[in-house]
Amino acid sequence: MSTIVRSIPMPARALAAFCVALVLLFAVSGAGAQSAASAPVAASGTAAPAAELEFMNRPIATLRATLGAVDPASRVENALAVLNDLPEDALGAPVTKITGQLGANSGVMFYARTHPLFAYAREDALPASGSFEAQAATVESNLNAVLEARRRQMHWPNLLRGAVLSVIAFAVLLALMWLVARLRSRVHGRLSRVLEQHILRRTSSKFDWTGSAVQLTAQIAQLLAVFLMFSLAYLWLIFVLDQFPLTAPLGRRMSGFLLRLLMQIGLGALSQIPGLVTIVVIFLLTRGVQTVLRNVFDSIQRQPKSFPGLHPETVGATRRLLGAVVWAIAITFAYPYIPGSQSDVFKGLSVLFGFMLTLGSTSVVNQMMSGMVLVYSRALRKGDMVRIGSMEGQVMSVDALSVKLVNPSHEEVTLPNSLVVNSPIQNFSRLADERGARIGVSVTIGYDASWRHVHAMLEAAALKTPHIQPDPAPFVMQRSLSDFYVEYQLIAAVDDPAQRPYILSDLNANIQDEFNAAGVQIMSPHFQTQPDEPVFVPKENWFTQPTAKG
């Protein structure tokens, strides 16, 4: 037989009990009592995976050895069956252990009073985790904690106390959630007032932001309320689980997870403080540079001639351009210090923005560069009366991508900047000084009319037209001497270039009246043959009423 050695001296009666326990050790392990020579116990198998022994949601030990034909998983099942069947009187006694050796295997057997629990072999221990005796002592401590938890779980006053405390905690939870719901409405109102005071006043009055602001603040308040309610429910669940011995380890794990999460967030926030301070410094320096630029351009705008190369039309664009450059440089410097800037999310966003910019950059950059050409060439500005190609109208805006006109029919026309740059631009307002802008009308009159008479009639028609200024006086130029007629061009000054289409309409009407009154034929637009008599409208037919319908 194997030699039996107990960890401490014991009397003969205890020695007999130890012998019985040694037999039970291998009975629990499924090995059976055999002699070392006839049936040696198999060494710990390396093929079978280790198995965790847990009871009452508490870890006890990790079994790795295969004893006889029993692998670690079966040993765990046997141990759990024994622990589940322990009587209540065995739960209050401290766990004892007996050391034994049989052939190549040695280890300890754990007892609750006289009830054998399970065997812990030397092959179950990890050499890297300390000595076998120290690991066996840890298993013994775990067993004592498990049996004490089992004893308290079977004691009904503990369960009643846990249930009462859980109900009270639930009532407190409901009260706190009701308070959070009340606070949500107050937070919503406070955020709405802050938005109205500090944001809505600084935005355009042409758009009503009230609905969007209310919805935004409602969503923010709702998210804060949901977060607080979830946090309260999580803390309540931790408290409830901690009231019962069976679920107390789960509560400790949940609280440990929460503490680790908060610690991770706190340490992460602390580690980002230097980067955030750097970003704040860069932001303050950029704001300072922006303030200096604003003051410089305000001074230039008050005295445009004080800075050569800048004009009132280009001051605003230059200010915006330099401001964009300054902020772009600041963002470039601050980007490496932004929390998470080196993460895969930021890298993915950079790839996405680069892809989008590559797809749309050709047309957009072309339009923006054309817009810069328009601004710095000072070809037109808001309020000018212009003709771009065949399109005539008043300039409503010169944007980064397009120019908007309103034509005489009161229709808005949008022209891409690239089209405007590639088209001839006639600006009727640019040279309109205190003596007025100029308009011109051409007519063709036959050689049978005296050119002096034609000049006088054209000038008289101009002076009868509203918005045409008498000073400088209208004048007539003879543009060409064609085969059948002479082309005359009337030049006159107007006080409001924006009224150009309407002034031209009135001027053309007055020219027809003058020539009709004088009996002079206008040969525009095309001459085909000379009529027997001059073609004109007699004065008595000028106000003939239209034919009635019907």
116 preceded by a cis bond (ω within 30 of 0): no
108-132 average pLDDT score: 87
302-331 average pLDDT score: 76
Question: Tokens at residue 172, please?
Answer: 């407190």
Q: What pLDDT was estimated at residue 100?
A: 81
Percent of the chain at pLDDT exceeding 90: 22
- Enumerate long-range contacts of 270-273, CB under 8 Å, 24 or more apart: 272/339
The pTM for the full model equals 0.53
377-381 average pLDDT score: 80
| Distances, alpha carbon 102 to alpha carbons 22, 46, 105, in Å | 9, 20, 5
* Residues in the chain, overall count: 550
Asked whether residue 138 carries a pLDDT value surpassing 70, the answer given is yes
The C-alpha angle 272, 265, 218, rounded to 5 degrees, equals: 100
The residues, any chain, with a CB within 8 Å of residue 116's CB and separated by 6 or more, are 21, 24, 25, 28, 82, 109, 110
Residue bearing the bigger pLDDT, 399 or 40: 399
Residue bearing the bigger pLDDT, 503 or 66: 503
The residues, any chain, with a CB within 8 Å of residue 293's CB and separated by 6 or more, are 319, 322, 323, 326
Number of H helices, E strands in the chain: 11, 13
DSSP-assigned states of every residue in 58-104: EEEEEE---BTTB-HHHHHHHHHHHHHT--GGGTSSPEEEEEEEETT
pLDDT in tens, 444-486: 888 888 899 999 999 999 999 998 888 888 999 999 998 888 8
CB 116 within 8 A of CB 28: yes
Q: What pLDDT was estimated at residue 523?
A: 75
Asked whether residue 35 carries a pLDDT value surpassing 50, the answer given is no
2-26 average pLDDT score: 33
| Distances, alpha carbon 2 to alpha carbons 5, 16, 33, 109, in Å | 10, 14, 11, 16
Residue bearing the bigger pLDDT, 460 or 535: 460
The residues, any chain, with a CB within 8 Å of residue 246's CB and separated by 6 or more, are 56, 57, 149, 153
Q: What pLDDT was estimated at residue 285?
A: 94
| Distances, alpha carbon 100 to alpha carbons 21, 105, 139, 288, 402, in Å | 10, 9, 16, 82, 94
The residues, any chain, with a CB within 8 Å of residue 325's CB and separated by 6 or more, are none
491-520 average pLDDT score: 89
Q: What pLDDT was estimated at residue 462?
A: 92
Residue bearing the bigger pLDDT, 422 or 20: 422
Asked whether residue 410 carries a pLDDT value surpassing 60, the answer given is yes
pLDDT in tens, 221-243: 888 899 999 999 999 999 999 89
In whole angstroms, give the CA distance from residue 492 to residue 111. Answer: 121
Asked whether residue 346 carries a pLDDT value surpassing 90, the answer given is no
- Tokens 């600006």 correspond to what residue? 427
Q: What pLDDT was estimated at residue 529?
A: 64
Q: What pLDDT was estimated at residue 155?
A: 84
Bridge-based pairing state of the strands 95-102 and 475-481: unpaired
485-509 average pLDDT score: 89
Q: What pLDDT was estimated at residue 452?
A: 93
Q: Which of 21-30, 82-91, 408-417 has the lowest average pLDDT?
A: 21-30
Q: What pLDDT was estimated at residue 18?
A: 34
Asked whether residue 54 carries a pLDDT value surpassing 80, the answer given is yes
Q: What pLDDT was estimated at residue 483?
A: 81
Q: What mean pLDDT is reported for the chain?
A: 79
Percent of the chain at pLDDT exceeding 70: 79
Question: Tokens at residue 520, please?
Answer: 């002079």
Q: What pLDDT was estimated at residue 362?
A: 66
DSSP-assigned states of every residue in 364-376: HHHHHHHHHHHHH
Asked whether residue 43 carries a pLDDT value surpassing 80, the answer given is no
Burial of 171 (0-12, 13-18, 19+ CB in 10 A): exposed
In whole angstroms, give the CA distance from residue 116 to residue 478. Answer: 129
The residues, any chain, with a CB within 8 Å of residue 390's CB and separated by 6 or more, are none
Q: What pLDDT was estimated at residue 205?
A: 56
Diameter over CA atoms, the chain: 159
Question: Tokens at residue 335, please?
Answer: 């980007």
The residues with which 308 forms a beta bridge, in sequence order, are none
> Considering only CA atoms, which of 111, 112, 89 is closest in space to residue 98?
111
Asked whether residue 345 carries a pLDDT value surpassing 60, the answer given is yes
489-498 average pLDDT score: 88
**Residue 309 pLDDT class (50, 70, 90 cuts):** low
Asked whether residue 506 carries a pLDDT value surpassing 80, the answer given is yes
Asked whether residue 173 carries a pLDDT value surpassing 90, the answer given is yes
**Residue 422 pLDDT class (50, 70, 90 cuts):** confident
Q: Which of 204-208, 246-250, 289-293, 477-481 has the lowest average pLDDT?
A: 204-208
